[in-house]
């Protein structure tokens, strides 16, 4: 794994260089990155300073912001109150809202697989107190926030076993207090690649906090800037401690981009 830089002055100078790119794509995870974690995911919001910087970036010339989240697209749009022109990618890359058009389009076969998995996992989750299941448009999430570690581990293990029994092509991904099952193998990295292409971006900024964001860091190239928020192994070039620290990073990038 390459060295991740925590020195703020190194990140600061990388941001100045990045801000000079002719066309810039700013891709951002939401939960744990723009927004701190909260017990009720419907109640969280982006930190005000971060969101102000995001809006400044969105208005800046030759600059595009995209929010790339594991949340379903609808929920992401609701919780962020993102302005109409802002690109949104939900369900880890399956659902898209770009240029005002929604795109999700699971095939009938994929939808049937989600249904089957959902029915089987409903049954598993019903036997573990406190564990919750989220039925997403493109898969399922098993939530164990606030559940004791032993119960969470047992529920995850059984959910995993059952999901693979029901669907041998299921994609499993672990995150913070969540285990997810999806039927389409796309990642945040695929979303970043596609948007880079679509927008003809010369450089990309990407920030994220969770394991699934590593797919995004993996597709970054020379001259891009990746920022991991918080602890954990990462492929990102830079690291900040928490969403509040990322606010300062976004402010600097927005200022540099808006005044170039
Ligand atoms: Mg996150």
pLDDT in tens, the chain (260 residues): 567 888 889 999 999 999 999 999 999 999 999 999 877 777 889 999 999 999 999 999 999 999 999 998 999 999 998 998 899 999 888 889 988 777 766 888 999 999 999 999 999 999 999 999 999 878 899 999 999 999 999 999 999 999 999 999 999 998 889 999 999 888 899 999 999 999 999 999 999 999 999 999 999 999 999 999 999 999 999 999 999 999 999 999 999 999 88
Give the domain-ending residue among 166, 182, 198: 182
98 and 200 in one domain? yes
Residue 228 Cα to ligand 1 midpoint, Å, equals 10
Q: Determine the Cα–Cα distance for residues 33 and 70; give it in Å rounded to an integer.
A: 12
> Are 31 and 145 in contact, with CB atoms under 8 Å apart?
no
- Length, in residues, of the chain: 260
Cα of 166 vs centre of ligand 1, distance in Å, is 28
Does residue 147 belong to any structural domain of this protein? yes
Report phi then psi at 23, rounded to 5: -125, 125
- 236: domain range? 8-104+187-258
Residue 135 inside a domain? The answer is yes
* Helix or strand (DSSP H, E) at 28: strand 24-28
- Find tokens 């990618």 and name the residue: 89
Q: Are residues 160 and 235 in the same domain?
A: no
> CA 102, 106, 110 angle in degrees (round to 5)?
165
Distance 215 CA to ligand 1 centre (A): 12
Same domain, 19 and 75: yes
> What's the CA-to-centroid distance between 260 and ligand 1, angstroms?
30
- Domain with residue 21: its CATH number is 3.40.50.1000
How many Å lie between the centroid of ligand 1 and the Cα of residue 28?
9
Last residue of one domain, picked from the residues 154, 182, 210? 182
At 43 the three-state DSSP class reads helix
Same domain, 202 and 249: yes
* Residues 149 and 217 occupy one common structural domain: no
User: What's the pTM value of the predicted model, to 2 decimals?
Assistant: 0.85
Separation of 84 CA from ligand 1 center, angstroms?
22
Q: How far is the CA of 36 from the centre of ligand 1 (A)?
A: 9
Q: Which residues have their alpha-adjacent CB atom under 5 A from ion ligand 1?
A: 29, 31-32, 209-210
Total structural domains in the chain?
2
CA of 71 to the centre of ligand 1 (A): 9
Q: Are residues 80 and 205 in the same domain?
A: yes
| Same domain for 137 and 67 | no
Structural domain contains residue 177: yes
126 C-alpha to ligand 1 centroid (Å): 26
């Amino acid at each position: 794994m390459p060295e991740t830089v925590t020195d703020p002055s190194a990140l600061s100078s990388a941001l100045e260089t990045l801000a000079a790119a002719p066309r810039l794509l700013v891709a951002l995870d939401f939960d744990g990155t723009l927004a701190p974690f909260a017990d009720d995911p419907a109640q969280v919001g982006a930190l005000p300073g971060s969101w102000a910087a995001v809006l400044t970036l969105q208005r800046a010339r030759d600059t595009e912001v995209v929010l790339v989240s594991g949340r379903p697209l609808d929920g992401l749009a609701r919780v962020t109150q993102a302005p109409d022109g802002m690109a949104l990618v939900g369900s880890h890359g399956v659902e898209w809202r770009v240029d005002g058009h929604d795109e999700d389009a699971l095939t009938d076969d994929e939808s049937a697989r989600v249904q089957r998995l959902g029915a089987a996992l409903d049954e598993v989750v019903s036997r573990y107190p406190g564990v919750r299941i989220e039925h997403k448009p493109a898969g399922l999430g098993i939530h164990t926030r606030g559940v004791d570690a032993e119960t969470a581990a047992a529920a995850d293990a059984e959910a995993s076993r059952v999901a693979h029994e029901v669907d041998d092509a299921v994609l499993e991904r672990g995150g913070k207090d969540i285990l997810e099952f999806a039927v389409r193998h796309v990642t945040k990295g695929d979303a970043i690649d596609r948007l880079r292409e679509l927008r003809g971006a010369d450089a990309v900024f990407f920030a994220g906090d969770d394991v699934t964001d590593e797919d995004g860091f993996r597709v970054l190239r020379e001259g891009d800037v990746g920022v991991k928020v918080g602890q954990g192994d990462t492929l990102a070039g830079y690291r900040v401690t928490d969403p509040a620290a990322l606010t300062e990073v976004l402010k600097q990038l927005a200022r540099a981009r808006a005044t170039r």
